[in-house]
């Protein structure tokens, strides 16, 4: 998986790139590279945004600046780039990220993530350069960078080997292996703390019964989760 993130704050990703599942994914051949819009702007003094036509608050990321950055990276008209790789803008109103979307993205060989700032993107960026728009929730962040990190985190940990333990990503909350249900509860030592005991079945060593119990717990949680009431 090769991920390119276009941003005005590439150094925000320095910390993220030190995270274990990210370094694991890199060691296994994936890449996460940042492109700084400001380094490619055709305008003076590093200008990347401008005031909105029609008036109003805030600044809007310019279409010519994003085109220059995409061209510099891919050596072609960005209108063509989106035909051959997913070019995803992070926007608060985009398609909502969930486990299904993450699986879909994890199956791609290459991803491009575009972060906006301030009031967002000139609409022509979304219309002509992007294949998708993604959101991580119905609230507004100051920019797409944190959302891009959420997408990278969720996608990279799906890749084989990224977690160290293959089964960890398969049977987890909201995964198809659990029928889209939340995960079952986990316990570790001590088995008894202040009289709060770990369910006996988990200490039984009986693998089939443990598996049944876990799936039962997962199903029970699906019925009582808050997700249903929100939609």
Contact positions toward ligand 6GU, by CB under 6 A? 90-92, 134-137, 139-141, 143-144, 147
Q: What is the DSSP string of 109-135?
A: SEEEEEE-BTTEE-HHHHHHT-SEEEE
- Give, as one character, the DSSP assignment of residue 107: T
Min. distance of Cβ 113 from ligand 6GU in angstroms?
Answer: 9
Nearer to ligand 6GU, 65 or 151 (CB): 151
Sequence-separated (6 or more) residues with CB below 8 Å from residue 70: 6, 78, 81, 87, 112, 129
Residue written as token pair 């296994």: 28
Min. distance of Cβ 91 from ligand 6GU in angstroms?
Answer: 5
Specify whether the CB–CB gap between 198 and 192 falls below 8 A.
yes
Min. distance of Cβ 147 from ligand 6GU in angstroms?
Answer: 3
Distance CA 103, CA 98 (A): 9
Nearer to ligand 6GU, 113 or 156 (CB): 113
Nearer to ligand 6GU, 136 or 156 (CB): 136
Nearer to ligand 6GU, 89 or 106 (CB): 89
Min. distance of Cβ 134 from ligand 6GU in angstroms?
Answer: 6
């Amino acid at each position: 998986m090769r991920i390119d993130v276009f941003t005005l704050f590439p150094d925000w990703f320095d910390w993220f790139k030190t995270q274990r599942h990210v370094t694991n994914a890199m060691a296994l051949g994936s890449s996460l590279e940042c492109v700084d819009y400001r380094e490619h702007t055709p305008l003076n003094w590093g200008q990347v945004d401008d005031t909105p036509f029609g008036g109003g608050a805030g600044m809007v990321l310019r279409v010519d600046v994003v085109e220059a950055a995409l061209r510099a990276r891919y050596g072609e008209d960005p209108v063509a780039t989106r035909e051959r790789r997913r070019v995803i803008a992070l926007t608060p109103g985009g398609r909502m990220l969930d486990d299904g979307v993450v699986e879909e993205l994890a199956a791609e060989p290459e991803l491009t993530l575009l972060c906006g700032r301030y009031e967002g993107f000139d609409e022509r960026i979304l219309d002509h350069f992007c294949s998708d728009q993604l959101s991580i929730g119905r609230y507004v962040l100051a920019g797409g960078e944190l959302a891009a990190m959420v997408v990278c985190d969720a996608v990279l940990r799906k890749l084989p080997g990224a977690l160290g333990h293959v089964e960890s990503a398969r049977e987890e909350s909201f995964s198809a292996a659990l029928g889209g249900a939340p995960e079952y509860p986990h316990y570790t030592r001590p088995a008894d703390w202040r009289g709060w005991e770990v369910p006996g079945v988990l200490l039984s060593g009986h693998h089939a019964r443990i598996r049944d119990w876990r799936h039962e717990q997962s199903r029970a949680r699906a019925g009582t989760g808050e997700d249903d009431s929100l939609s």
